Amino acid sequence: MNPDTLPDVKQTVHNDVAALAARSEELSAEQLIGEVVERFGDRVSLACSFQKEESVLLDMLFSVEPKARVFAIDTHYLFPETYELWREVEQRYDMKVEVFEGPSTEELAATHGEKLWECKPDLYLAVVKVEPLVRALGDLDCWITGIRREQSQTRANAPKLGWDASHELWKANPLADWSDDDCWTYIRERGLPYNALHDRGYASIGDTHSTLPGSGREGRWADSDRTECGLHAPRSGAGEAGTSALLGGSVEPTPPS
């Protein structure tokens, strides 16, 4: 995307969002959500993985816009507790989560063999997470995530709002400066539903076959040196510098020319 060739109206919007990004650190999570919803309308959506961060963000988002968009990636290997919370969220907010899914468990095994996540984890993530994510972002100008800086080193410099160069759209991380305690305080004060696995020691929750109890993200892909599951990592070949850039470590607040 080259801002110099954009129509005047869209160029004005990009300039306005760039200015918002430059002052986003001054805004509360609620204020930032309100600002991006005001600017992007139905072309912004929350990426929901049904963890404690999304419990917070769902409440904030629907307080601003009851008809807001929310999407989820269904790998078909999510925990039963995650699917249970999914149903509860839809009932609580009287909405339907937009579902983007990879191949069924049967299709995945027939095409790539059993336990692809063990023998070829990069391919597994590309097929069941990254490809559905690309489809989910296809009609958006901004997505909202639950990234927090204290979750891992690769997320330590994530901005509250930045340009996602890998997918060519804006990315809002309203909880970037929140702690675990901040999330739990918000949830408990409001009596919000949350994933029951958190009460069993799972700080971060993904697929059944690659998630163990643990603090931070140490329970994700615990038997490897992997730090990201694919949704917030650069495309193949980008390396650690690419990870930092996509998460916001060195992203300028304006779209690249």
Q: Is 229 labeled as catalytic in the residue annotation?
A: yes
- Enter the tokens of residue 115: 């336990």
Q: How far apart are the first and last CA of the chain?
A: 7
Q: Of these residues, 48, 142, 183, 229, which one is catalytic?
A: 229
Could you give the CA distance from residue 11 to residue 222 in angstroms, rounded to a whole number? Answer: 44
Residue type, 90: E
* Catalytic residue set: 229
